[in-house]
Structure 1
Amino acid sequence: MENKESNPSQIIRKIIHVDMDAFYASVEQLDHPEWRGKPLVVGGNAARGVVAAASYEARKYGIHSAMSSVLAARKCPHLIFAPHRFDRYRELSRQIREIFFEYTDLVEPLSLDEAFLDVTENKMGLKSAILIARQIRQKIKEKTRLNASAGVSYNKFLAKIASDLNKPNGQAVILPEEAEEFLENLPIKKFFGIGKVTAEKMEKLGIFNGKDLKEFSLQFLTKKFGKSGLHYYNIVRGIHLSEVQPHRVRKSLSAENTFEKDLISLEEMEMELKSIFEEVIKRTQKGGIKGRTVTLKLKYADFTQQTRSKTLEQYPEPAQIWEVGLELLRQEEIPKPIRLLGLGLSNLNITEEQVHFGEQLKIPFE
């Protein structure tokens, strides 16, 4: 990627997204040769718990992170369950981070196994971000014996998408002149940041790919998706101005959903909360994050908002987080129809050192 400077204020950035392939599961297979080539998950057991990560062999059975361990075992009776070892994952994440810093100090971790790098100006003086990505992946392999994939583009959104294109153990680039056509042909479910629920809502509106999304005005998208509408309007046009930010300390982790039709019954709310809870657990498992304070967010049909929280003495396991979420939902009568539900964790187990070595997640309430 060439660094075009027709205007100093409009520098085309060179962004790399590095994503380790099935990181937790790959570490377990690395340390246990007898498990290599076999379906394996990290977390839970055949009787209870939640899958934190799945090997590529397990994914062939339809097993994925945040799935209940019971269902995973049902899908693959000979599935291997490995207990998580976050100290080991942090150790390797630290080694990987050291490689990143050989090239740039602008490193923004998303979790233990992925990060953004801005290599527009890099310590090696290399002009090609594609070459840098290739070198980084090779050094990671040599140092840790683990595979990494990478995406290269001019912003974080496109680099993140690109890193998924040739997984595992591959890389891809989306050049500025290719972005518009690429995004128009991209299925809406493949857009980074558009989850399952939002994708289903978009498909009901006739939005199945980027080209469909571009047909809708900013006013329409804002009306349907709130302030996220502007984000969707921009990203499908290849516009994403968020910079790589190396020292942001995570204070909380959460997920939420705005509903096309307001929720009235408690049964509806509990069903939707379950889906949001599963997303929160998926994100906590990915980053090895726990939080002692559980917060329920309620936005009513009239746009008034309420939060309910409970702080626990110990870091809760997923089952307890779900119980507390239900308790908060049921603790008093819901006076009005609900247009948005959110569930979050705070008082996290993240220290300053862990942020620098890879436990940062950037998933705030929208």
Structure 2
Amino acid sequence: MELQPPFRKIIHVDMDAYYASVAELDNPELRGKAIAVGGGGDRGVVSAASYEARKFGVKSAMSNVLAKQKCPHIIFVKSDFARYKELSAQIREIFYEYTDLVEPLSLDEAYLDVTVNKKDNPSANDIAREIRQKIYDKTGLRASAGISINKFIAKVASDINKPNGQKTIHPEEVIKFLEELPVNKFYGVGKVTAAKMYNLGIFVGNDLKKKSLEELSLLFGKSGNHYYNIVRGIHNSEVKPNRIRKSVGAERTFFENISSEIFMLEKLHDIADEIEKRMEKSNSKGKTITLKIKYSDFTRQTRSKTVEHYMSKKSEFFPIVKELLYQEELENSVRLLGLSFSNLNINKKEPVWVQLKFKF
């Protein structure tokens, strides 16, 4: 099956090792060295790693202890979010020179829809190259980019020629690209789902494509429909300039592991106070409350409950938090607890579709 025009032109810009690169930018003596961002205490975790550190297997969310074991000469630097935000704002100014359809995913990555753009440039590939050069000229930081007909493929493509590169998947290349793509590269396929797919003989997109919608729905529930569509190049999610907040949360990492539910309940009271403030500040209410637990061995667990009415006050939701904590026995001592609200009371606008046809 061939995809039919009109095609959108989507760019995914992803800064290269952003936090580590900012540290190198501000401290040139760190360039070319193995860096981990996030502080060097034994109880800490790596927020980001330079490419030099990644060669030794150091990656984000890894414990500092393990990072030191893998790379004894690693240099730990503290996070500087004020600086990250400052440079991110400069980078976004460059994006807006080309289009107002910019959807930031974080401080260091964003989607751009350049189907129609302020430069009247018909080549999304050229626009991506210009943007990457402007980012470097203005900030001294390198970026990579992926270009294709939808957000999913553009995001996958941005990883292909990292660092400091870009990859365009043209409309006529999309189907072949997806058929050859390893399933663990598909959005929404984590380690558990990938392992399940491997057991079913699904290793690349073409294997996934052989499964009917009914089979995929039976095997993967609601996600089955998503997998069925994306492997066929169907992903109609538009670039959303004003991203809708999907959750409000807060979490705490403890200096010493906690093994008593009584102590945990005390910590959860403090976290709930913070959640209540954030819900009030964002004028949000939610129906789903989730308790996040990270154990001392770094395994994670989430427990959630959804109610029929919206909540935002601690007096309303804390009884549920207590219920979730005592829902089942803890597997180990705990190093982190978190609470979050989702299923929020935020109105969603219907997308406006504009059909356009240009040379890609």
Q: Which moved more, 1:113-122 or 1:10-19?
A: 10-19
Equivalent of 1:169 in 152, 164, 167: 164
Deviation of residue 344 (structure 1)? 6.2
Measure, in 2, the Cα distance between the counterparts of 1:13 and 1:105: 15
Provide the aligned length of Structure 1 versus Structure 2: 275
Measure, in 2, the Cα distance between the counterparts of 1:230 and 1:174: 23
Matched, 1:147 2:146: no
The alpha-carbon distance between structure 1 residues 43 and 137, as it changes in their structure 2 partners (threshold 3 A), is same
Given residue 200 of structure 2, which amino acid in structure 1 is its aligned partner? L
Q: Which moved more, 1:101-110 or 1:27-36?
A: 27-36
- The equivalent of 1:93 in structure 2 is 88
For residues 97-137 of structure 1, what are the alpha-carbon distances to aligned partners after superposition, in whole Å with 9 as ceiling and x for unaligned? 00000000000011100000000000001000000000000
Larger radius of gyration: 2
Deviation of residue 177 (structure 1)? 0.8
Long gaps (5+) in structure 2: 250-281, 293-303, 315-320, 330-337, 343-360
Poorly superposed stretches of 4+, deviation over 6 Å:
308-312
For residues 142-201 of structure 1, what are the alpha-carbon distances to aligned partners after superposition, in whole Å with 9 as ceiling and x for unaligned? 000000000000110111011011000000000111111111111111223322221112
Long gaps (5+) in structure 1: 1-5, 255-290, 298-304, 313-325, 335-342, 348-366
Matched, 1:188 2:183: yes
Matched, 1:120 2:115: yes
Measure, in 1, the Cα distance between the counterparts of 2:31 and 2:136: 16
Measure, in 2, the Cα distance between the counterparts of 1:344 and 1:218: 35
The alpha-carbon distance between structure 1 residues 236 and 67, as it changes in their structure 2 partners (threshold 3 A), is same
- CA RMSD, Structure 1 to Structure 2 (Å): 2.7
- The equivalent of 1:83 in structure 2 is 78
Deviation of residue 15 (structure 1)? 0.4
Q: What SS class does the counterpart of residue 16 from structure 1 fall into?
A: strand
Measure, in 2, the Cα distance between the counterparts of 1:332 and 1:226: 25
Identity of aligned residues (%): 63
Matched, 1:111 2:111: no
Matched, 1:54 2:49: yes
Given residue 155 of structure 1, which amino acid in structure 2 is its aligned partner? N
Deviation of residue 307 (structure 1)? 4.7
- The equivalent of 1:306 in structure 2 is 305
TM-score by length of 1: 0.70
Deviation of residue 306 (structure 1)? 2.9
Alpha-carbon contact 1:160-1:192 (below 8 Å) kept: no
Alpha-carbon contact 2:290-2:305 (below 8 Å) kept: no
Q: What SS class does the counterpart of residue 103 from structure 1 fall into?
A: coil
Given residue 195 of structure 2, which amino acid in structure 1 is its aligned partner? E
Given residue 76 of structure 2, which amino acid in structure 1 is its aligned partner? F
For residues 291-345 of structure 1, what are the alpha-carbon distances to aligned partners after superposition, in whole Å with 9 as ceiling and x for unaligned? 9x97239xxxxxxx83599999xxxxxxxxxxxxx986541359xxxxxxxx863
Q: What SS class does the counterpart of residue 235 from structure 2 fall into?
A: coil
Q: What SS class does the counterpart of residue 84 from structure 1 fall into?
A: coil
Deviation of residue 46 (structure 1)? 4.3
TM-score by length of 2: 0.71
Alpha-carbon contact 1:109-1:115 (below 8 Å) kept: yes
Measure, in 2, the Cα distance between the counterparts of 1:54 and 1:91: 20
